[in-house]
């Protein structure tokens, strides 16, 4: 760096742009709609991933993600700044997924039995799938309450504390559920142990 540039930097100190989540939320509350666009750009992929991992259905990702951000948009002015924005955002995402599954289960009750069975059928043929697909399908066989903490931990890299806040459960419960999810997954994958080696 030349001495000339150095002087310039000293004379005009760079003002740090406050673009962390809280600053963006404050800007949005003050009427700056563009701040919300930045928040969406920043967090949309994480939200889409959580939805996909939770539901294992690529068709509904964007629709549900849109619902998540619309909910955020409508409620952002009431954000209390007591927890991280991401914690609040992921909780909304997880709840949207939970709602989706609940509605789907209700629909399943009223779906003709044959059609429902076809959808439930799990394809165990290894030849057609790679290992990743096999593992992902196996994870989907876990109950929702075990599956989601496991995915948030192993794929999204959430801490136990973040998972507890996102799912609104105790820290000990998170630890227990992740362990049980791993045990369950081991059992599901046991018949395919040879292929997975």
Least distance (Å) between residue 106 CB and other proteins: 24
The smaller minimum CB distance to other proteins, of residues 116 and 192, is found at: 192
Site string for other proteins, 160-179 (x = CB under 8 A): x--------------xx-xx
CA distance 97 to 8: 52
CA distance 36 to 85: 12
Out of 22, 124, 131, 195, the residue judged to bind other proteins by CB under 8 A: 131
Q: What is the distance of C-alpha 107 from the center of its chain?
A: 24
- CA-closest candidate to residue 118, choices 107, 108, 106, 105: 108
CA distance 86 to 105: 28
CA geometry: angle 180, 186, 189, nearest 5 deg: 140
Cα Rg, the chain, nearest whole Å: 22
Number of residues forming the site for other proteins (CB under 8 A): 41
CA distance 185 to 188: 5
The reply to whether 141 sits near other proteins by the rule CB under 8 A is no
Least distance (Å) between residue 191 CB and other proteins: 15
Considering only residues 47 to 106 of the shown chain, the ones binding other proteins according to CB under 8 A are 48-49, 52-53, 58, 61-62, 65-66, 69-70, 73-74
Sites of contact with other proteins (CB under 8 A): 37, 40-41, 44-45, 48-49, 52-53, 58, 61-62, 65-66, 69-70, 73-74, 131-133, 135-136, 139, 150-151, 153-155, 159-160, 175-176, 178-179, 182-183, 185-186, 189, 196
């Amino acid at each position: 760096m030349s001495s000339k540039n150095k002087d310039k930097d000293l004379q005009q100190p760079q003002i740090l742009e406050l673009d962390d989540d809280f600053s963006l939320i404050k800007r949005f509350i003050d009427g700056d709609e563009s701040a919300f666009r930045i928040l969406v750009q920043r967090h949309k992929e994480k939200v889409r991933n959580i939805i996909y991992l939770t539901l294992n259905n690529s068709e509904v990702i964007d629709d549900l993600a849109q619902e998540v951000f619309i909910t955020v948009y409508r409620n952002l002015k009431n954000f209390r700044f007591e927890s991280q924005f991401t914690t609040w955002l992921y909780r909304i995402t997880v709840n949207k997924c939970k709602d989706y599954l609940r509605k789907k289960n209700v629909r399943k009750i009223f779906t003709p039995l044959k059609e429902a069975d076809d959808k439930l059928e799990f394809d165990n043929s290894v030849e057609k799938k790679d290992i990743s697909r096999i593992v992902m399908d196996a994870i989907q066989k876990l109950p929702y309450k075990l599956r989601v903490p496991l995915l948030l931990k192993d794929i999204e890299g959430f801490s136990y504390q973040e998972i507890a806040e996102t799912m609104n459960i105790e820290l000990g419960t998170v630890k227990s559920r992740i362990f049980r999810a791993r045990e369950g997954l081991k059992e599901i994958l046991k018949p395919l142990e040879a292929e997975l080696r």
